[in-house]
Amino acid sequence: MDEIGFLKKLHEEELRDLEVSAPSPAGLAEVEVCKPELTAALREIRTQYESIAVKNLQEAEEWYKSKFADLSDAANRNHEALRLAKQEMNESRRQIQSLTCEVDGLKGVVRAEECFLG
């Protein structure tokens, strides 16, 4: 759009220069002949620009979808790893509690035997 605006501005300046330098009817006819050509050229430039913009938009959407899918996969893997780590931690806690109870029980047995023998 910037390029189109620039070309329009350049065209207007060229028209003003032509009007100042050659205000004859022949010069005006020449300007009138150039107008459709410039309009066609601007139309072609706009069409090219729009096709490039559409292509860039599609590429950006594909890139975004790809990155989003990658991040979603990574998040799912991390979530699963976290879940497994929590399971392991809970199992370790249960084992520690079980072993602590067993040690306490054995300490009680040792004390009882010490009292019995002592």
Residue 62, token pair as written in the block: 């594909």
How many domains does the chain fold into? 1
Compute the distance between CA of residue 73 and CA of residue 46 in angstroms, rounded to an integer: 40
Residues 67 and 61: their CA atoms lie apart, in Å, by 10
Q: 118: pLDDT confidence band, cut at 50, 70 and 90?
A: low
Comparing 5 with 93, the larger pLDDT belongs to: 93
Do the domain assignments include residue 18? no
40 assigned to some structural domain: yes
* Residue 15 falls inside a structural domain: no
Model-level pTM?
A: 0.47
- Structural domain for 81, as ranges: 23-117
pLDDT band at 32 (very low <50, low <70, confident <90, very high): low
The verdict on residue 29 lying in a domain is yes
What local confidence, expressed as pLDDT, does residue 20 receive?
66
Residue corresponding to tokens 């002949």: 33
Residue 16 placed within a domain: no
Residue 74 lies in a domain: yes
pLDDT of residue 2: 84
Evaluate whether residue 13 is within a structural domain.
no
